[in-house]
Structure 1
């Protein structure tokens, strides 16, 4: 994968969770019911997207075309 494609993918994958946590997309998860794992759904929504973001960044780390290259400092 080229560096340009990777950067585009990185921006898109990084932008999706951000958008799901701000208005107007947060309205999808902005409710008190149902209770999920003892939390109101809005709290669960935020925690879910934090976990999804973490997993997406791990996935992107393994796709990074430059991670194996050594840098001369």
Structure 2
């Protein structure tokens, strides 16, 4: 994967969750019902996007073209 393509994906992964947690996109989830895992839907929405962001950043870390190989010490 080229460095510019990687940077574009990395920026999108950072920007999409941010947009999903601010107005007007948060209005999709801004309600108390249904209750999911004992949380109001709005809390679940925020936690869901935090988890999605974490998982995608871990995947991107593994795919990073500039990631150095382990060096023998």
Assess same fold via TM > 0.5: yes
Determine the C-alpha separation between the residues in 2 that align with 1:59 and 1:25: 25
User: Cα deviation per residue 1:2-43 (whole Å; 9 max; x = unaligned)?
Assistant: 111110110011111110000000011110000011110000
- Aligned to 1:68, the other structure's residue is in SS state coil
Unmatched 5+ stretches in structure 1: none
RMSD: 1.2
Q: Give the count of matched residue pairs.
A: 70
Deviation at 1:69, TM superposition (A): 5.4
| Matching residue of 2:4 | 4
Residue 13 of structure 1: aligned partner: 13
Runs of at least 4 residues off by over 3 Å: none
Q: TM-score normalised to the size of structure 1? A: 0.90
Question: Who is 1:55 aligned against?
Answer: 55
Under a length normalisation based on structure 2, what TM-score does the superposition of the two structures give? 0.90
Q: Measure how far apart 1:58 and its partner are.
A: 0.4
